[in-house]
Amino acid sequence: MQRRHFVELAGAMAAGHLLGKDETLVGLTKPIPSSGERIPVIGMGTWLTFDVGRSSSDRARLLSVLNNFFDRGGRVIDSSPMYGRAELVVGDLVPQIKPKPPLFSATKVWTPGRRLGVMQMEASQKLWRVPKFDLLQVHNLVDWEGHLQTLKEWKANGRVRYIGVTTSHGRRHDELERIMRSEPLDFVQITYSLADRSVENRILPLAREQKMAVIINRPLDGGELFDRVRGKAVPAWAREFDCTAWSQFFLKFVVSHPAVTCAIPATSQPAHMVENMGAGVGRLPDAPMRARMASYFSTL
């Protein structure tokens, strides 16, 4: 299948519709502030979903997930040594995608000690089969002082393109804020969803102030958002921002925040990947619509 191309966010929002069958699919991108490079607003996480063995059926299903992701303009795949066999599976499957996909590789270091951190990152590079990572992040701030020093050295030496730190489940925001104010990060990765909006008060505004890209983990609250809407139809007014499925409703709320660069929902189902990628096309909700979405969700 021919790869669909992404265009600039402003042009996509101005177009405000999905294109016809003879045109390319409009895709929303946002810039990485430290470089201006644009990446798609919908990426892919691998926690739990890619931690599988050698089962041919599991591998075939995940290969279909990846095909649907890349066919719809996906680029950013995020993983971690913490995620069991996920890095191995990504490294095995991505080379099977033809033609070669435009992967933006993002993983993490997750171990105490600088020396062990270097060993872990080099092992991850072999598992992913990439010459270097696009993004390396300190996972959940584990021994962040030492690892961040290594990451800065690797970036200066051309061994990685971007560096950052992560938190999840709304933890350690005070410490994250101190790091953001004192360290030259390209990215921060945080939790944000309609069920957890705590980063709106301090972290997201600070990321804009410090000109840091923001990756959102758990944008679907680990799937629990769907429990809130089970048996309910997507409101008709969601079509005003080209939304036809609940996953798109949830994801468009997240990526429409001005400070958010990319969200990384995870799935092991090819059909769910198609729905998720639908959040990266057409119009995004503006500020009044975002307020309407949040108010509506609070009543569910």
User: Global pTM?
Assistant: 0.92
Q: What percent of the chain shows pLDDT beyond 70? A: 91
Containing structural domain, residue 82:
38-298
Is 78 inside a domain boundary?
yes
Is 20 inside a domain boundary?
no
Is 242 inside a domain boundary?
yes
Q: How confident is the model at residue 179 (pLDDT cuts 50, 70, 90)?
A: very high
For residue 137, what are the contacts with CB-CB under 8 A and spacing of at least 6? 106, 107, 108, 109, 163, 164, 165, 166, 187, 189
CATH number of the CATH domain containing 109: 3.20.20.100
Q: How confident is the model at residue 28 (pLDDT cuts 50, 70, 90)?
A: very high
pLDDT at 11: 34
Q: Which residue matches tokens 């299948």?
A: 1
Is 18 inside a domain boundary?
no
Is 240 inside a domain boundary?
yes
Is 14 inside a domain boundary?
no
Total domain count, the chain: 1
The per-residue pLDDT for range 207-224, each reduced to its tens digit, is 999 999 999 999 999 999
pLDDT at 262: 98
In angstroms, the CA 226 to CA 279 distance is 16
Is 32 inside a domain boundary?
no
In terms of pLDDT, which residue wins out, 11 or 114?
114
Q: How confident is the model at residue 27 (pLDDT cuts 50, 70, 90)?
A: confident
Q: How does DSSP assign 8-39, residue by residue?
A: -HHHHHHH-S---TTSPPP--EEE-TTT--EE
Is 254 inside a domain boundary?
yes
In angstroms, the CA 24 to CA 18 distance is 9
Q: What is the mean pLDDT of residues 250-279?
A: 98
Q: What percent of the chain shows pLDDT beyond 90? A: 90
Cβ distance 217 to 190 under 8 Å? Answer: yes
Q: What is the mean pLDDT of residues 134-148?
A: 97
